[in-house]
Amino acid sequence: MALFLVAWAGTTTYAGEIQPLSSSTHIDHIVATVSERYGIDHLLVHAVIRAESRYDIYAVSAKGAQGLMQLMPDTQRELGVRNPYDPWENVDGGVRYLLRQLLAFGQLDQALGAYNAGPRREKSRARPAETIQYIRKVQAEYLSLSSQNR
């Protein structure tokens, strides 16, 4: 299994823990911890991160989505994410948002459509081509990761 490491300077607080960021932050550990906390398959979270940012913690989309899980500023505010470039905060917010979509829609493809284009758009069933491609990409990544981890 590949290791995804990010080097930071400074410190951050997450869930009552002080994390020294001068040491490498292990994204696999973050994903595993947060996924377990919310009961979501960590491989699905990795598939979303791969599709969204390719593990670039400083990724910014043309539409303004930020960080590993590409959270939009309004979504960040709604989820209480103060620093979208902090891997702990971004993954925690992204996983909570993904879980919300999974619970609301009940099907993975619909949840991914809502994650990508927004729940209102998914409810209208008016998926843009970009969202259809995104759903296929995440599902293919998830399938690939799942078959590698048997």
Measure the N-to-C terminal CA separation of the chain; round to a whole number of Å.
12
Q: Which residues are catalytic?
A: 52
